[in-house]
């Protein structure tokens, strides 16, 4: 991830949070909660993709990484909440 992508992260995270909330289904965490999870998940997704050696270049690559990160974050949160 380069510094030129940092201004895009909130917008990409918001879109990722909306998509992740739709994909995971369930009651969700509300609109604001899903958006926050998406923004945090976008950083997680890019980091995980980087550790795995997967390139997430361009806006589409960042969006995919952000959605994957948001899905991972939602999954972990739901695991913790159910325990």
Domain borders along the chain are: 31-83
Please determine, for residue 47, whether its predicted confidence score (pLDDT) is greater than 80. Answer: yes
Mean pLDDT across the chain: 81
Distances (CA, A) of 48 to 34, 73, 81: 20, 12, 23
Measured from the Cβ of residue 8, the count of other Cβ atoms closer than 10 Å reads 14
Q: Give the whole-number percent of the chain exceeding pLDDT 90.
A: 0
pTM above 0.75, yes or no: yes
Q: Do 59 and 36 meet the contact criterion of CB atoms below 8 Å apart?
A: no
């Amino acid at each position: 991830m380069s510094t030129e992508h940092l201004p895009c992260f909130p917008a990409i995270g918001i879109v990722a949070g909306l998509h992740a909330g739709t994909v995971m289904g369930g009651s969700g965490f509300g609109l604001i909660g899903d958006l926050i999870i998406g923004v945090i998940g976008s950083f997680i997704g890019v980091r995980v993709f980087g550790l795995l050696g997967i390139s997430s270049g361009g806006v589409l690559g960042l969006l995919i990484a952000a959605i994957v990160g948001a899905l991972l974050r939602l999954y972990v949160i739901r695991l913790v909440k159910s325990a």
